[in-house]
Structure 1
Amino acid sequence: MTDVFDNVSNWLFKGWESIGRVLFVGVLAYAGLLLFLRISGKRTLSKMNAFDLVVTVALGSTLSTIIVSRQTGVADGLMALALLIGLQYSVAWLSVRWPWFRRGIKSEPALLFHQGTYLHGALRRERVTPDEILSAMRQSGAANPADVSAVVLETDGSFTVISGSLSADMPSLQNVTRPSQANRNQIK
């Protein structure tokens, strides 16, 4: 019976040495991460696409592992953080310089709703429901779908709701994937 209580107390409190390690390593790892982020620039933590989101989550997971895992040394953990940030920086750098690389890494924004019409083919392809479009409209403050010109699923998974009238060439939608005219006629 005392073994059970000893195990439970060990699960709850491993000792002051363990807490001291977490404090010491946590401060070092956090300071290292802040330094790396400052050096690498604002783009490192942006969530402009799925790759950026994965890197942000991986940084948090790595920081956590450095702090709580006794098997991971501070130098190893900081190297892992530097590797993730370096890879993210490299992908962003290559994406800016080579359009073919950018197309391979990043998805295109997709038009899901246009001038009062749900684009059902695009909704199916992007796995979005009309209810989610209505929710995005409400969140943007649109009271009536008739007041919305377009809803775009952005590369980071967020919705952009464009209210008001758009001109014929729709400059804000120039890089957005739109259904072809034949598909558009089938939707209506």
Structure 2
Amino acid sequence: MQLVLRAAIAYWLLLFSVRLIGRRSASQMAPFDLVILFMTAGISIAPVLGDDHSMVGAFSALCTIGLMHILASWLKMHFDWFGRIVDGTPVVVFENGQFNSRRMTVLRLTQQDIMTAARQRGLMRLDQVRYAVAERDGKISIVEEHKA
């Protein structure tokens, strides 16, 4: 039972530590970001398993983590506030031809990140961009400026 409780606690701690790290998706993560993510996950394994190196212990921990994930998903579906805490909300980082540097600093985004997303949409200049939005999953959505 103690192993199950440790696994549940580790799930929630890891979920919120990843949330604190930021919203970059795996495809946008720098090697540094990935190292931090893997180190955090690796560090959480030892306290969960403790001295129990059995298959039953590992299976119990995995099942508990899976159930915690299902619980978190259920909570997100039923409580909007919980989804905002766990996943965040979309944030407009570029509009009206201006970068919102305060929001970009909080999200640890650079102007180059926004331009990369614009180029991926085939846009080469900022005057072609109406909005740039940092989505909940860390991706940057670009809304094109429509010229008449």
Q: Which TM class, normalised by the smaller chain length? A: 0.5 to 0.7
Amino acid in the other structure paired with 1:81: L
Name the residue aligned to 2:28: none
Name the residue aligned to 2:13: none
Q: Percent identity?
A: 21
Question: Residue 121 of structure 1: CA displacement?
Answer: 2.2
Question: Residue 50 of structure 1: CA displacement?
Answer: 4.2
Within the candidate set 115, 131, 139, 1:158 is matched to 139
> Which has more radius of gyration?
1
Name the residue aligned to 2:106: 125
Name the residue aligned to 1:149: 130
Task: Kindly indicate whether structure 1 or structure 2 has the higher relative contact order, using CA contacts under 8 Å at least 6 residues apart.
Answer: 2
Name the residue aligned to 2:67: 86
**Deviation string for 1:16-72 (max 9, x for gaps)?**
xxxxxxxxxxxxxxxxxxxxxxxxxxxxxxxxx949x8xxx79x96xxx9xxxxx63
What is the TM-score normalised by the length of structure 2?
Answer: 0.58
Unaligned runs of 5+ in 1: 1-48, 66-70, 166-188
Unaligned runs of 5+ in 2: 1-17, 26-37, 47-51
Name the residue aligned to 2:92: 111
Question: Residue 117 of structure 1: CA displacement?
Answer: 1.8
Question: Residue 82 of structure 1: CA displacement?
Answer: 1.2
Question: Residue 164 of structure 1: CA displacement?
Answer: 4.0
